[in-house]
Structure 1
Amino acid sequence: MSKRASEKPRAPSSAWANRIARTVLSSPLLSPPDPLKQQRCISAIVAHDEDDDRLHVLSIGEGTKFMSSACSSSVLKDMHSEVLAFRGFKRFLWESITISLLPSSTSSPPSPSILSKSSESSSTQPSAQLLPAQYVLSPNITIHMYTSSSPCGDSVVRRWGNNKSDPFLCPAAGSPMWIESTPHGLLNAQAIKQGQFALLSKGSYMDIDGGPCPPPPAFVPPPPGTHYTPTIPYTHPPSPAPHTCSDKILLRNMLGLQGLLLTHLIPTPIHLTSITIGRKYSNLHSRRALCCRSSSYRTKRGKKVAPPVSSASAFDVNHPAIIGTSVKADESLTDAPASFKSQCRVGWAGCSGAPASVEDVDGDSGRLVDGEVSKVSSSAFADLAAKFFVNQTLTLSEMKQKSPGWARKEALMNNHELFKMYAWTRRATPS
């Protein structure tokens, strides 16, 4: 049988996209190449230091699995590579802040340093119950995302527009290499009732092109007398599957990358400057899925419609440059279909000489392969956050509800037209 390339040749959008991809794919955080694990899905968060033009891989994620049953906060429910990369990035931020507060760190910031201490006192912020320390993204740092394949969900739905190739973008003199030739324009909303802007769950019919997402095996009760506490009690009804990665990136382009807990310490949203995509890249569909469907749009009759807002800046949408790379995540030849294994990986950079961290996750259980709880789980983040609270008896749910980001998210869910039209599937926050 003749061999075929695991990935088809494709043209890049810009030299910046290829630079990002090569930096990520050469990162020591990635798992070693496995000839039996073709077309692995890889995502990463990368920082660019404009002072010295260096790239730093801050976090990586590898995986295609998710769990559609109710589970505790100690279990990773969504193990798609994009979500793991976001979680690794949050872990990096927590560790950076922790190191910066050590007595030995007063003279020099942690390296790689992407945060600066804010000049505003925490006593003037909604998070006065925290220890006095607040941070902002350093002005010389921009944050970028890489994903080896177009995020599952709306970005791989090839409808409502022609899938045209992007021209190679040569940056103008003095311009950053990732800048697109034109800003994101208004979407032509011609099929809203048919799901043009729909929010999707992993495993849904419209998500079949986003990569295999098999549900976990059914829980089998242990024999009588066996001492065993199931992570997923079989008496509980299954909860909805997680939202697709397209939807989650869209939400982060509105609320920021740091998540609710970190808004106590980083109140200003951290936004992506660019998103580099490998396989299945389409600029038109990616713009719609990852940012533009939450902005103003144009109806069939040419009328401009702006989503209702409760304040002038409540729902500002970040529109990152969305570009494609010709660098392949898998250069091998194969005669077999893609093989997506259940083992996933998350990793994040170390700070101030500390080694980088990687965790291999069992995609069937949501825990590490040795059964331990992941450091990027919700319960692990709750433990980190509790150290910064004066009152350390708060639950995870209470810490989230007291965060500056909570009110912003609630206003978004209750007032934004997109989330009123297609309700965001919300689960009770585990305590």
Structure 2
Amino acid sequence: MPPGSAGPREEARHEGQASFLTKASASAPDADTPVGTQFLGAWGAKQGPLTCSDKIAIWASLGLGGHTLSAGVEPLRLSSCTIGRKFSWPHAARALCCRLQNFTPESLQELPRGYGLQHLDLLGCSVKFDEGTYEDGAGADFRDPRCLAWARGDEAPEILDGRTGRLMGGEPSSLCSARLSALGGLWRDQLPE
């Protein structure tokens, strides 16, 4: 925001919040970083695809349907998130909601009521989903970039490159923002005027 201009101002308080804001703006085709956002140093550089926690934070604050469904229904909210045996409440809270502490209608006048920071009930699960071991202090291992994605009606899951959000061959996923937005346009055309 140019110096002296009026309007809301959001300052990224730490690198994680700056990364979230820049990735969120990069995930939409023509989006910019939110108005008034100021970054320190290189934090404002585009950061790549959204992580799982970025997406959950967006869904918690804007609803599961985002802009596509907002034309016809109130936001569909997440109320809880269950995390496996590597659960850490402080890390989950920061990653999934608390880094957006100023994303409220009270702080951002252009944000409609019903949207904004939504704290989730964060739960841990002791069920073992694999036979691997967890070393205390070890971080997540992201060496294998493959991710599975599917939607109801798909014959098989797609194998995505988690670094790019595209199929392993480089093509866009059937679940990418552009394709879902096109489906949303078809859905909006069916709404009564």
TM-score between the two structures when normalised by the length of structure 2:
0.56
Q: Which secondary structure state, in structure 1, belongs to the residue aligned with residue 83 of structure 2? A: strand
- 2:161 counterpart of 1:367: no
Counterpart residue identity of residue 324, structure 1: G
C-alpha displacement of 1:271:
0.9
Q: Does 1:284 align with 2:53?
A: no
The one-letter code sitting in structure 2 at the alignment partner of 1:264 is: A
Retained in 2: the 8 A contact 1:255–1:269?
yes
Matched residues, percent identical?
33
Say if 1:200 and 1:244, in contact at 8 Å, map to a contact too: no
Aligned partner of 2:65 in structure 1 is 258
Paired with 2:51 and 2:90, the residues of 1 have a C-alpha distance of 18
Q: Is the 8 A contact 1:348 1:356 kept in 2?
A: no
Distance change >3 Å, CA 288–CA 254, structure 1 → 2: same
| Secondary structure of the structure 2 residue equivalent to 1:361 | strand
Match of 2:37 in 1: none
Which amino acid in 1 is paired with 2:126? S
Q: 1:342 aligns with which of 126, 145, 150?
A: 145
Q: Of 14, 19, 35, which residue of structure 2 is paired with 1:201?
A: 19
Offset from partner CA, 1:396-426 (integer Å, 9 cap, x none): xxxxxxxxxxxxxxxxxxxxxxxxxxxxxxx
Matches of 2:108 and 2:170, distance apart in 1: 45
Structure 1 residue runs without a partner (length 5+): 1-191, 203-238, 297-305, 391-431
Higher helix share: 2
Task: Write the distance in 1 (CA, Å) between the matches of 2:64 and 2:112.
Answer: 21
Contact 1:348-1:357 at 8 Å conserved across structures: no
Q: CA deviation at 1:240?
A: 0.6
Radius of gyration: which is bigger?
1
The gaps in structure 2 that reach 5 residues or longer are 1-10, 21-44, 135-139
Bigger relative contact order, structure 1 or 2 (CA pairs below 8 A, ≥6 apart): 1
Q: How does 1:266-345 map to 2 (within 5 A)?
A: 267-295=73-101, 308-310=107-109, 313=113, 315-332=115-132, 338=141, 340-345=143-148
Report the Cα offset of residue 375 of structure 1.
0.6
CA distance in 2, matches of 1:388, 1:312: 22
| Secondary structure, aligned partner of 1:253 | helix
Q: TM-score, normalised by structure 1?
A: 0.28
- Counterpart position of 1:182: none
| Partner SS for 2:81 | strand
Is the 2:145–2:162 Cα contact (8 Å) retained in structure 1?
A: yes
Structure 1 residues 295 and 333 mapped into 2: Cα distance closer, same or farther (>3 Å)? closer
Which stretches of structure 1, 4 residues or more, deviate above 4 A after TM superposition?
363-366
Task: Give the direction of change, closer, same or farther, for the CA distance of 1:365–1:257 in structure 2 (3 Å limit).
Answer: closer
Structure with greater strand share of residues: 1
User: Residues 284 and 344 from structure 1, CA distance in 2 versus in 1: closer, same or farther, beyond 3 angstroms?
Assistant: closer
Aligned length: 147
Task: Classify the secondary structure of the residue corresponding to 1:387.
Answer: helix
